């Protein structure tokens, strides 16, 4: 009996070894990054404690840190101290989140309540295997694979409800890496109700934010920098739908959807992130409003002043605070910069640049008894132009007679 049992165990062990060996061979034959259980088995890199300017193929920040060497940004490493909130991670917001992640921002806070659908595959960022997942969770998974150094905080919720609005306010107040106010809020939503919610929250918290949008025909878009009290908020110049108190849901028809192009959304996302980097790292000029019309490649740019009679009471309050702040500021005198002569480090031959516009006077020879044999008369261009042109007094008939005699 014991011998039969031992034989059975030995036979079972052999079969298990065969199965295990076959499984290992199968894994070896699988192509890299093949999906397992619906998720991509992608390699990830280790976290990097500090940004380095070392030029190396293995350094993901070398090209970014080169901005300092080029004189564009004084200290790019400060980007890791910044926290940006992105509300709406759809066609524009998802690309914005990816760009900021690749730029190495310190922390991202994502808000959205929608799920990834196959209808979203005409846009950038999302992939078919993420269909059915919440957009914020799918975004977090992808972004951490791109750059694990970025802290990602996600909220799968609709911010337009009273309870969720309070959560939005709390994350604006305490969402940064130091549990303080976030550095910037980016609106990438696709409806006016959500825009008005973000507008109300930022006015209440005196929070600088940027708004973005793409038209329903997918060939135009815009970005807008909004500093409460300084620029017009979204309620200062509300669109007709908001001003008329029309429910957006009643405007939608079954079987009809808005158009979307990944090209337009990428352009708008690029403008928004570029403006964000200029604001956070203090370089270049931050655009107050920048539009984009793809049909004629038109880029309108302007600044919209706030409405003193805005319906938002916090906006009116911020306007008064901004006026008081400006009145207390001492006007800065423009310093006159003296023209500095250009100094070349390497000039061993003593080469100098001479202004050709200055006419040098010819000096007489220094030796006694010697003088120039001939002086070229100096005639200015104006004198030459003023000399009358001599006109021939011979008429046409005399000229023809001379030709015949020849």
How far apart are alpha carbons 294 and 360 in whole angstroms?
56
Contacts of 158 (CB under 8 A, 6+ apart): 113, 164
How far apart are alpha carbons 49 and 42 in whole angstroms?
22
Q: Is 172 exposed, middle or buried (0-12, 13-18, 19+ CB in 10 A)?
A: buried
Q: Residue 269: how many CB atoms within 10 A of its CB?
A: 29
Two structure tokens written together for 14: 């052999």
Q: Which neighbouring-strand residues pair with 109?
A: 85, 153
222 backbone dihedrals φ, ψ, rounded to 5°:
-165, 165
Two structure tokens written together for 17: 């070894």
In the residue annotation, 257 being an active-site residue is answered as: yes
CA distance readout (Å), 306 to 235, 278, 302, 309, 319: 9, 23, 13, 9, 8
184 backbone dihedrals φ, ψ, rounded to 5°:
-160, 145
Contacts of 226 (CB under 8 A, 6+ apart): 199, 202, 208, 209, 210, 211, 232, 233, 234
Q: Which of the following is catalytic: 188, 202, 257, 310? A: 257
Strand segments, DSSP code E, in 62-188 are: 83-87, 107-112, 151-156, 184-187
How far apart are alpha carbons 268 and 96 in whole angstroms?
9
How far apart are alpha carbons 292 and 301 in whole angstroms?
9
- Give the chain's length: 406
How far apart are alpha carbons 160 and 192 in whole angstroms?
11
**Catalytically active residues, by annotation:** 257
């Amino acid at each position: 009996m014991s011998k039969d049992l031992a034989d059975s165990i030995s036979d079972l062990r052999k079969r298990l070894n065969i199965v295990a060996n076959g499984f290992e061979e199968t894994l070896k034959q699988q192509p890299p990054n093949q999906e397992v259980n619906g998720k991509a088995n992608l390699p990830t890199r280790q976290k990097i404690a500090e940004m380095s300017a070392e030029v190396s193929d293995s350094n993901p920040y070398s090209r970014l840190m080169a901005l300092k060497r080029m004189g564009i940004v004084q200290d790019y490493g400060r980007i890791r101290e910044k926290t940006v909130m992105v509300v709406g991670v759809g066609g524009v917001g998802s690309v914005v989140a990816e760009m900021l992640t690749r730029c190495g921002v310190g922390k991202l806070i994502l808000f959205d309540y929608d799920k990834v659908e196959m209808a979203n595959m005409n846009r950038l960022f999302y992939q078919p295997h993420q269909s059915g997942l919440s957009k914020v969770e799918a975004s977090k998974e992808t972004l951490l694979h791109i750059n694990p150094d970025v802290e990602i905080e996600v909220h799968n919720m609709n911010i337009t409800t009273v309870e969720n609005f309070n959560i939005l306010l709390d994350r604006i107040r305490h969402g940064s890496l130091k549990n303080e106010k976030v550095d910037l809020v980016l609106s990438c939503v696709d409806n006016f109700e959500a825009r008005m919610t973000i507008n109300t929250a930022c006015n209440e918290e005196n929070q600088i934010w940027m708004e973005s949008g793409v038209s329903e025909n997918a060939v135009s878009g815009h970005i807008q920098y909004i500093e409460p009290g300084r620029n017009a908020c979204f309620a200062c110049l509300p669109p007709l739908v908001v001003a008329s108190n029309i429910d957006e849901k009643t405007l939608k028809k079954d079987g009809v959807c808005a158009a979307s192009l990944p090209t337009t959304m990428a352009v708008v996302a690029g403008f928004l992130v570029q403006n964000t980097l200029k604001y956070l790292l203090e370089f270049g000029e931050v655009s107050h409003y920048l539009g984009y019309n793809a049909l004629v490649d038109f880029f309108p740019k302007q600044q919209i002043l706030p409405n003193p009679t805005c319906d938002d009471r916090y906006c009116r309050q911020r306007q008064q605070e901004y006026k008081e702040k400006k009145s207390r500021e001492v006007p800065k005198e423009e310093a006159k910069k003296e023209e500095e002569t250009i100094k070349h480090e390497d000039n061993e031959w003593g080469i100098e640049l001479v202004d050709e516009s200055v006419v040098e006077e010819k000096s007489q020879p220094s030796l006694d008894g010697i003088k120039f044999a001939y002086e070229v008369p100096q005639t200015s261009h104006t004198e030459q132009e003023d000399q009358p042109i001599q006109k021939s007094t011979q008429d046409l008939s005399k000229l023809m007679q001379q030709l015949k005699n020849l």
